[in-house]
């Protein structure tokens, strides 16, 4: 897909978190010593004290005594996290996660950290078969003013029929998942209003891409680049030049 879209560099990127995940087909080489051995390899880059984090999963239940769907959160496991300020690694028996919080470090640095983390992980557990790669970008977009015309900033809008509803849209949440036809990958897109920003129109745009199937370790760099290119294309397709001006784009 190289060359399908120009690579735009934004001086004020809206990215609040980027996450790369590697899923492994087998956990046969995992044991209680893995986090400690992994930390010995990465501690110079992630010097903060490791911590254990619970992994939560949403459960949806509909019972005869419940007139509406009940949603509950339950712990399904744990991960060990290693941190250096806004740079984080998480490991679990079948999962490795690389996180970049704002201010975003840029793709070249983030990509390098992903590959280094994968090498460290496999040096401890062995070259386990990679069954999937995920790449997720969460953006918080804050616009000037509390009321805006969405079509001036986005190529998609939210709305309802004028008959039967008030004229002012206050909050919304929209999520869709789409599979690519040419590769074994999918993208989940979430767009929602963000009421955590006072007196400004703010939105969350979340792009979550997944590549499934057996993946050779030597192919990981090209798969990462492919996912990042597809995420860029999706992001750019949803925004107008006026929003690019908010990000202070430079070609």
Taking all residues of the chain, what is their mean pLDDT, rounded to a whole number? 86
Structure tokens at 219: 């192919």
Please give the average per-residue pLDDT across 44-57, as a whole number.
81
Comparing 110-114, 132-136, 156-160, 174-178, the range with the smallest average pLDDT is 156-160
Comparing 4-13, 33-42, 52-61, 157-166, the range with the smallest average pLDDT is 52-61
Comparing 20-34, 73-87, 208-222, the range with the smallest average pLDDT is 73-87
d(CA 218, CA 250): 33
Q: Residues 6 or more apart from 227 whose CB is under 8 A from it? A: 133, 135, 185, 209, 211
The model's pLDDT over 183-229, given as tens digits with 9 standing for 90+, comes to: 999 999 999 999 888 888 999 999 999 999 889 999 999 999 999 99
Q: Highest mean pLDDT: which of 24-28, 62-66, 114-118, 216-220?
A: 114-118
Greater confidence (28 vs 52) lies with: 52
Number of neighbours of residue 134 by Cβ within 10 angstroms = 18
Residue 62 has pLDDT above 60, yes or no: no
The domain locations on the chain are 10-58+71-250
60 burial level (CB within 10 Å; 0-12, 13-18, 19+): exposed
d(CA 91, CA 42): 12
What 3-state class would DSSP assign to 136? strand
- Give the confidence band of 169 by pLDDT, cuts at 50, 70, 90: confident
Percent of the chain with pLDDT over 70: 86
Percent of the chain with pLDDT over 90: 63
The packing angle between helices 220-237 and 107-125, to 10°, is: 140
Which pTM does this prediction carry?
A: 0.86
Strand partners of residue 25: none
């Amino acid at each position: 897909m190289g060359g399908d879209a120009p690579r735009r560099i934004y001086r004020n990127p809206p990215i609040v978190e980027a996450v790369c995940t590697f899923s492994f087909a087998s956990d046969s080489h995992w044991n209680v010593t893995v986090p400690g051995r992994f930390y010995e390899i990465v501690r110079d880059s992630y010097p903060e004290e490791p911590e254990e984090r619970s992994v939560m999963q949403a459960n949806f239940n509909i019972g005869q005594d419940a007139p509406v769907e009940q949603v509950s959160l339950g712990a399904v496991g744990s991960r060990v996290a290693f941190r250096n300020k806004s740079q984080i690694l998480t490991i679990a028996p079948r999962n490795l996660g690389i996180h970049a919080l704002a201010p975003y470090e840029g793709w070249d640095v983030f990509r390098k950290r992903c590959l280094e983390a994968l090498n460290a992980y496999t040096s401890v557990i062995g070259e386990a078969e990679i069954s999937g790669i995920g790449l997720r970008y969460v953006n918080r977009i804050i616009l000037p003013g509390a009321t805006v015309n969405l079509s001036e900033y986005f190529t998609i809008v939210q709305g309802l029929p004028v008959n039967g509803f008030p004229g002012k849209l206050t909050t919304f949440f929209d999520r869709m998942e789409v599979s690519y036809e040419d590769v074994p990958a999918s993208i989940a897109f979430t767009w929602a209003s963000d009421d955590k920003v006072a007196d400004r129109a703010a939105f969350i745009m979340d792009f979550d891409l997944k590549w499934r199937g057996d993946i050779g370790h030597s192919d990981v760099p090209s798969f990462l680049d492919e996912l990042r290119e597809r995420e860029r294309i999706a992001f750019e397709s949803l925004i107008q030049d006026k929003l690019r001006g908010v990000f202070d784009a430079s070609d």
